[in-house]
Structure 1
């Protein structure tokens, strides 16, 4: 099970570390290893959330997530996306941005950091919308019942998530941003992206939940209705945008460790591969069904990350804070799940065919 799920990750790790050593010796080897650990620690909550969506996809689309998806995650978000951001914000061609990254690492890092407020606004608003959609809906289990129950009650007010997210964006842009207009536009685009991708996912999968004979829905090994066809495609698209939002802080934070584009791509690529494999492992082991509060912990970690990203528009938030908050909340949720299971409090198990309200899809 471990080798089957993490085999590609082990292989990519070995190849990446060897490539780093051949590229620039032991120093590059060490930096790539550190960056891989950084990416895993910052994105562990991403794996938990992804697993909740991935379990509703057919084995074929799970393989797509591990193949095409990892190519998009590694080459798209960790290599091409930063180059595109630098090219757009600096008014240069992609080739010039690539040449800058290879020959003037400090200038490239500075250009990317200058664009960070817009990146943080986009990613922060996408994640904030995801978090708010979760806490404003009823769930079969409550981890922080004293907080989650009243939030679910007030969440019955239509479009409350949009109102709160818009208010947070206005405050962040007004108080933290040097260029409020650019930040506001990026944040609104983040909200639009979430609403669009989430809405398309609900459109196709919602029909499948009601009609198990639909051509886009089949029964999976865990008893859940799994999406195929268009439904699975939009779930896949949702996962890629979600991964992109999580990767922003890791890409920017990596420059605190190294400004070399090749080393950053190798290190973050290895970490992204482990996040993919961990996501599949959680699905195949049924971990989210056994430890029912893990998803709640991951969602609260997403809320904390969204807040950190919005604050970082004007103030640097150390990576150990964002990573520590996420890991701490997930560990707390895991421990709470263990206590619940030991107490035999399993009478409120969630019905397997509930909608994907917990992920917003």
Structure 2
């Protein structure tokens, strides 16, 4: 799996500064940046502001809001000076990403009010790529960022966007900056960091398409696993996420979650939904645990947390679990989590947990 971290922030910033450095003699203030209402200069200053803001969120471990600070450039700062500030703030974000532990999350409003270091790196890279495009378009210069960077951004913070043959054109389309054949123009958009749900001894960490692609191909998905993991069910679940992503139907909060121990940050299994709730308000859940983590109540704990979250969503009437007759341990898990056996289908039992408010 291609990483999304400090090196990628450095790469995006270096590419931006190299291109815009060729036009520092132009009047950035008098020219509008592409389709934006801002001038090219205001857009460049905005890039620097976002980079330092993201660095501050990570470094300060912000929990509930943006850290209340910003940057102000000296009045006599020229275009070359603005690029120096972008280079510097980019280096600060890259350093914050490199030195932040994987499990740390900090506040970002969209859409689940937090992001981890990879999320902040991806958002920083996206800001640089997209606004460099805006400035370049305004100044009439060509800009084509590395395809790998664009693909990494898409698979981490645009899980709801069906991939296309050209990652850069897909990213431009997804952010209302271009057209793609066969797809309607985008007029409103948000990126999407993964959802993390707390449990007692675990956190349930939403698996991004980037992580799912790696897991399904035999990798670790960027998680540190206990010995023996990840196992077959996790890889199969990741494959389902990949198929939904490639079809453009993935709703990431209804995807797969890695079960990560709070005590040491190690993944012990996975749990997730087979898809979004159906028209009857039913959603099916599945899970597996690495053998060394079984018998400790982890699956029950995670199932309670995930089911409670699901049943709080509008339109969800019940969570369904289908368990083989021979899988007595899994039957015990769903029973302890409050599910009731409601049907038998061939060699499987069907269990259900209904929303108490309905």
Q: TM-score, normalised by structure 1?
A: 0.24
Q: Which has the higher helix share?
A: 1
Larger Rg: 2
Higher relative contact order (CA 8 A, sep 6+): 1
Q: Which has the higher strand share?
A: 2
